Structure 1
Amino acid sequence: MDGRGIVDLGIQNFEQLRERDAFYVDKTNFIKDWWDNGATATLITRPRRFGKTLNLSMLECFFSNKYADRGDMFQGLSIWNEKKFRSHQGAYPVIFLSFAKIKSTDYAGMEYAITKIIFDIYEQNRYLLEGDVLSDREKQYYESIVPGMEKKIVVDAINALTNFVSRYHNNRVIILLDEYDTPMQEAWLSGYWNEATDFFRGFFNATFKSNPYMLKGLITGITRISKESIFSDLNNLEVLTTTSNKFAPYFGFTESEVFQALDDMGFSEEKQGVKKWYDGFTFGNIADVYNPWSISSFIGNGAVYKSYWADTSSNGLVNRLIRESSADIKKDFEWLLNGKTIIIPIDEQMIYDQLGKDENALWSLLLAGGYLKVVSIDNSHIGDSLEDEKYELALTNHEVRRMFAKMIRGWFNGRSKSGYNEFIKALLEDNIKKMNAFMNRIALETFSSFDSGKRPSQDAEPERFYHGFVLGMVVDLSDRYRIRSNRESGYGRYDVMLEPFDKKDKAFIFEFKVLDKVENELSLEETVANALAQIETKKYEAELVADGILPENIKKYGFAFEGKKCLIG
């Protein structure tokens, strides 16, 4: 731990942080471990705000010859105790790029943004044009690096700059690339994925593989994009995800580091509260990892509990994918929100063009993004099976749970959660008229927003809505009710059951049905009657009665759907 008095949120520049003597958890042993690591090029993936940018800035300040004779930045830190490493400080040329701000809605905008980043780096190194290290033709090429340059020039531009820098300094170059996958995510969201992957495949190959002037390279991002998409030529790339042991202690705060910080800042009594809210991330074999942004914000705000990390992004991609997901995904989320775990086969390689098609791709994204944590991994079947490893997953912590609760409320009322409470109030008062008015209004809005553009069938829309509805019930009633769906009771499987923790309160059973003209249902009223009859015939109330709920306190409702119309009875 270093720096006691100032908590500077958002500073990702190591030099600034050290000059301000700000709150800093010492991660400088990463310098030694990365340098001693045998890989030429390494990709490290971590969720957002876990210190990726700060660690790259730390590497730049340590190795870059721009910071020669600046060992003072590292005095008092663990790396400075490694005396043999002091000779590496300020000894190498370093090229540091960041794609964090590339969020273009079309391919042309993305490519232009990259040309501007490369142009800026060339401008920072114009000293290369002095003297005769570069030939006249190379100097002419150097001047051709401008915003909007042709794609064939862009792809090789960093490779060429590495050549020039290496010859000028008579030393090979360290290349650092931060947030490599930000433009890829935007490409998928905006519909130019294929063009983007074609560009980056050539760019990454030229920069990190076909580059004899590179000494070591480090890439960071949130997701591990599949090798086939953009890294197909990089057989020298070591990939370290959140389940890898290597470098696990250097991204995020360990529990001992967090508790030490709380002691130092005078918040020792908050340890258990902080653990409940912010603990839960697991990297490799290290459990109880905390998000630095949440801990720094908590301390900086005088020990106020809030959803700091979860609220630093719109979470738009995750929101969209879950909202438009299948009924099975929504049932799994209901399970997770109830504090349970799910077991899913996971391939940590993100195949973005499978999002929306392959359900496991969504779980891979949520795991990489930090929304889920690994409870255990079962690979005992790998030798005899073609399946991926099976991961036992849970929501990461209380902060993430609150984020999803807020997200789900937004599905039902974009302005506030009061609209959803309107339905809860009507339900608890047995006011079927108000329940019907609410459900028809929300069903109309929700079915439209769940439409992914591929027009799910009329049958699928109510099914999607019903599971979104179940999630909403979990959010607003989970403090009073145990919410279950699609579970066995009596002689069948009910759709939704709300069992009160207080046995004196009302219990509820819901059965959802789509009007089925094949079964000669001619109206929603007939469909409701069939739903209620099924509740009785299958004796769904048996589970509740066995748990001590009086039969007269069990309320049964049939929900009938036809397109965007709903009737409750």
Structure 2
Amino acid sequence: MKSNKKVKLPVGISDFKDVIENNYYYFDKTKFIENILEDGSKVKLFTRPRRFGKTLNISMLKYFFNVKNKDENKKLFENLEISKSEYFKKQGNYPVISISFRNYDEENWDDGLKTIKGILKRVYSEYKFLTEKMDDIEIEEFNSVRRGLDSVEWEASLINLSKYLYEYYGKKVVVLIDEYDQPIIDSYVKGYYDKAISFFKSFYGLVLKDNEYLEMGVMTGILRVAKENIFSGLNNIKVHSILNKRFTEYFGVLENEVEKALKDFGLEYNLKDVQKWYNGYLFGNTQVYNPWSIINFLDEKRLGSYWVNTSGNSLIQLYLQKLKEDIFDEFSKLLNKEKIFEVINESMTFGNLEVDFEKNIWNLFFHSGYLTLAEEYDENEEETYLKIPNEEILRMFSKMFIEVYFGNSNNFSKLTNALKNGNIEKLKAELNKILLENVGIFDISGIYKEQFYHGLMLGLILKLRNEYEVSSNGFAGKGRYDLLLKPKNILKQKEGIIIELKAVNIDSVKLSLEKIHEKLENECEIALKQIDEKEYISVLRNAGIDEVLKIGIAFFGKEFEIKFKRE
């Protein structure tokens, strides 16, 4: 690894040459090249979440293998791991075709095809010197692509280019395709999936299947969702997903790499916080950190939600809206830092999603990096335990929970401010607004119970995690409390807060609204009594918190009461 306390950080930079020549901080992943060459498969597909180093690795492979500018490119790898390998002799040995769809984002297929044509035109323009060895017909075909003519058989453009390169250099071609599935996912979300699939089935199939000019193909993507349509009959492909134990160290940042980076930038004292925020991913049997978040933390020198604020959540949001009635229990468990037991595999397709939304939503979350394995994966078992990997994703989940079930309400910030300031009347008023403005949520069958209210309150108070350690269903004293907020800085004289929730079953036909609220007030008293009898306050006292706000909240539909005591 190149390291220097004064080096720049490659925030948003994914071109390998740019990183090396401009002395950006680099986690040395060049041994990936050796592993690629040792792998016997003709075509390799690496599926990883976005922002986990796929594009930088594809760029690295391009500069390593490309016969074009090979002497200049060789200098990029001096003193890096691959330079010590016997496979370094493979440097500069092949013509390379490298394309990326990572920025594809189009509303319809007409615009999508224009974007694809633009990408291919630029690739052809890199190799305009190939016409030196072409006949007139080939020159005309080549320049038709560069001009973007409608007469071009665009599906065959990559296999044709591989033929031109082979005939020019006398060497077989390495084909690199970054984020192969982005146009597929985008088309699915926006409603033109069939047209995109029809194109890409031929486009990928021609260049990767039975291509006599192909030395090796390497593809990256987030999901393997399109396998049944795009790669039909492509028997020479090997998929390396986050469930596999091979290649795991090359996508993401390892523990020892993070420790060294923190030391290089004088931030080693932050290791525990960095672990809590950005670690937790289990790829195969290897623990990895999110590299995008690590680089941004080193640059900003503060903990924050960096990865989840980047683009790419459209498919997740689509299915959350479709399934919000069915996955509430699991969603609530994840917010509570609990594990869920779900079916996970590598063969998820869009067809699977359409047939069984509820089962495959968790597969989608997992492969997209929003959930991770809670224990090492047993490939002989269909089901496994999943969890939220770290603090960064937990905060995203809490925000997503509110958006999915309650929309974008401006009342949430007012509610959390009222809670941290101990203003119970204001808290009650803002909670009342939230419940009244979201009538539809109470029509969801089976959701009308304590866990729903627990999820609601947890989702709301997770907004306070900068100031409090927020925990749910934790052990304290003689039992388990519902919600607890422990001030992170006790010197600022903030109260510790314990909240006990009750969901009340009432025959509303027989009781007046006044009687319903009497029952709710009684349940609030029971909740406060439970806090005292179970000695939940002990966990705050042991942490040196002198002032504690105890809150009991009882719900019935949109009706509720709140009672509190200070100690």
Q: Secondary structure at the match of 1:253?
A: coil
Query: In structure 2, do the counterparts of structure 1 residues 147 and 224 end up closer, same or farther at CA, with 3 Å as the change threshold?
Result: farther
Query: In structure 2, do the counterparts of structure 1 residues 209 and 464 end up closer, same or farther at CA, with 3 Å as the change threshold?
Result: farther
| Amino acid in structure 2 at the alignment position of 1:11 | I
1:253 and 1:504 mapped to 2: Cα distance?
37
Instruction: Give the unaligned 5+ runs of structure 2.
Output: 463-467, 474-480, 487-495, 538-549, 562-567
**Aligned partners of 1:3 and 1:21 also within 8 Å:** no
Deviations 1:425-444 (A, max 9, x none): 89983789736741454305
**Aligned partners of 2:101 and 2:180 also within 8 Å:** yes
Deviations 1:472-508 (A, max 9, x none): 3113446688656xxxxxxxxxxxx946589995632
| Amino acid in structure 1 at the alignment position of 2:327 | I
Query: In structure 2, do the counterparts of structure 1 residues 250 and 558 end up closer, same or farther at CA, with 3 Å as the change threshold?
Result: closer
**Aligned partners of 1:276 and 1:398 also within 8 Å:** yes
**Aligned partners of 2:409 and 2:434 also within 8 Å:** no
Aligned partner of 2:490 in structure 1 is none
Aligned partner of 2:189 in structure 1 is 189
Residue of 98, 101, 114 corresponding to 1:99: 101
Q: Secondary structure at the match of 2:309?
A: coil
Aligned partner of 1:399 in structure 2 is 392
Stretch of structure 1 that moved more, 404-413 or 251-260: 404-413
Q: CA deviation at 1:192?
A: 1.2
Aligned partner of 2:413 in structure 1 is 418
Deviations 1:136-168 (A, max 9, x none): 222222222256655981111101111111111
Stretch of structure 1 that moved more, 311-320 or 369-378: 311-320
Aligned length: 523
Deviations 1:235-273 (A, max 9, x none): 111001011111111111110111112222222222222
Q: CA deviation at 1:26?
A: 1.0
Q: Secondary structure at the match of 1:66?
A: coil
| Residues 517-528 of structure 1 mapped to structure 2, 5 A cutoff | 521=509, 525=513
Aligned partner of 1:74 in structure 2 is 77
Aligned partner of 1:434 in structure 2 is 429
When normalised by structure 2's length, the TM-score is 0.81
Aligned partner of 2:459 in structure 1 is 475
2:57 and 2:194 mapped to 1: Cα distance?
31
Query: In structure 2, do the counterparts of structure 1 residues 344 and 87 end up closer, same or farther at CA, with 3 Å as the change threshold?
Result: same
1:349 aligns with 2:352: no
Aligned partner of 1:178 in structure 2 is 178
Query: In structure 2, do the counterparts of structure 1 residues 379 and 526 end up closer, same or farther at CA, with 3 Å as the change threshold?
Result: farther
**Aligned partners of 1:253 and 1:290 also within 8 Å:** yes
Aligned partner of 1:516 in structure 2 is none
1:268 aligns with 2:263: no
Q: Secondary structure at the match of 1:174?
A: strand
1:48 aligns with 2:42: no
Q: Secondary structure at the match of 1:310?
A: helix
Aligned partner of 1:557 in structure 2 is 554
Q: Secondary structure at the match of 1:232?
A: coil
Q: Secondary structure at the match of 1:473?
A: helix
Aligned partner of 1:443 in structure 2 is 438
1:390 aligns with 2:383: yes
Query: In structure 2, do the counterparts of structure 1 residues 99 and 528 end up closer, same or farther at CA, with 3 Å as the change threshold?
Result: farther
Q: CA deviation at 1:95?
A: 0.3
**Aligned partners of 2:372 and 2:387 also within 8 Å:** yes
Aligned partner of 1:385 in structure 2 is none
2:389 and 2:223 mapped to 1: Cα distance?
17
Q: Secondary structure at the match of 2:159?
A: helix
**Aligned partners of 2:243 and 2:284 also within 8 Å:** yes
Aligned partner of 2:302 in structure 1 is 304
**Aligned partners of 1:432 and 1:568 also within 8 Å:** no
Q: Secondary structure at the match of 1:344?
A: strand
Residue of 101, 108, 111 corresponding to 1:109: 111
Query: In structure 2, do the counterparts of structure 1 residues 121 and 549 end up closer, same or farther at CA, with 3 Å as the change threshold?
Result: closer
Deviations 1:76-103 (A, max 9, x none): 1111112x43332222100000011211
2:498 and 2:247 mapped to 1: Cα distance?
52
**Aligned partners of 1:435 and 1:568 also within 8 Å:** no
| Amino acid in structure 2 at the alignment position of 1:25 | F
Aligned partner of 1:332 in structure 2 is 330
1:34 aligns with 2:36: yes
Q: Secondary structure at the match of 1:350?
A: coil
| Amino acid in structure 1 at the alignment position of 2:457 | M
Q: Secondary structure at the match of 1:26?
A: coil
1:244 aligns with 2:239: no
| Amino acid in structure 1 at the alignment position of 2:94 | Y
Query: In structure 2, do the counterparts of structure 1 residues 266 and 483 end up closer, same or farther at CA, with 3 Å as the change threshold?
Result: closer
Q: CA deviation at 1:120?
A: 1.5
**Aligned partners of 1:99 and 1:180 also within 8 Å:** yes
**Aligned partners of 2:418 and 2:424 also within 8 Å:** no
**Aligned partners of 2:454 and 2:482 also within 8 Å:** no
| Amino acid in structure 2 at the alignment position of 1:418 | S
1:118 and 1:194 mapped to 2: Cα distance?
21
**Aligned partners of 2:498 and 2:551 also within 8 Å:** no
Query: In structure 2, do the counterparts of structure 1 residues 291 and 533 end up closer, same or farther at CA, with 3 Å as the change threshold?
Result: closer
How much identity, in percent, do the aligned residues show? 29
| Amino acid in structure 1 at the alignment position of 2:342 | I
Query: In structure 2, do the counterparts of structure 1 residues 440 and 543 end up closer, same or farther at CA, with 3 Å as the change threshold?
Result: closer
Query: In structure 2, do the counterparts of structure 1 residues 433 and 28 end up closer, same or farther at CA, with 3 Å as the change threshold?
Result: closer
Query: In structure 2, do the counterparts of structure 1 residues 235 and 523 end up closer, same or farther at CA, with 3 Å as the change threshold?
Result: farther
2:158 and 2:515 mapped to 1: Cα distance?
65
Q: CA deviation at 1:320?
A: 4.2
Q: CA deviation at 1:520?
A: 9.8
Residue of 503, 507, 524 corresponding to 2:500: 507
Q: CA deviation at 1:189?
A: 1.0
Q: CA deviation at 1:123?
A: 1.7
1:358 and 1:278 mapped to 2: Cα distance?
29
Query: In structure 2, do the counterparts of structure 1 residues 153 and 175 end up closer, same or farther at CA, with 3 Å as the change threshold?
Result: same
Deviations 1:286-343 (A, max 9, x none): 12x1111221222222x32112222223634334433442444222121112221111
1:432 and 1:477 mapped to 2: Cα distance?
12
Aligned partner of 2:361 in structure 1 is 362
Instruction: Give the unaligned 5+ runs of structure 1.
Output: 383-387, 451-457, 485-496, 514-518, 561-565
Q: Secondary structure at the match of 1:219?
A: strand
**Aligned partners of 2:58 and 2:178 also within 8 Å:** yes
Q: CA deviation at 1:540?
A: 10
Q: CA deviation at 1:510?
A: 2.0
When normalised by structure 1's length, the TM-score is 0.81
1:469 and 1:504 mapped to 2: Cα distance?
17
Aligned partner of 2:319 in structure 1 is 321
| Residues 117-266 of structure 1 mapped to structure 2, 5 A cutoff | 117-131=119-133, 134-145=134-145, 149-150=149-150, 153-266=153-266
Aligned partner of 1:491 in structure 2 is none
Query: In structure 2, do the counterparts of structure 1 residues 269 and 440 end up closer, same or farther at CA, with 3 Å as the change threshold?
Result: closer
| Amino acid in structure 1 at the alignment position of 2:502 | I
Q: Secondary structure at the match of 1:6?
A: coil
1:161 and 1:308 mapped to 2: Cα distance?
39
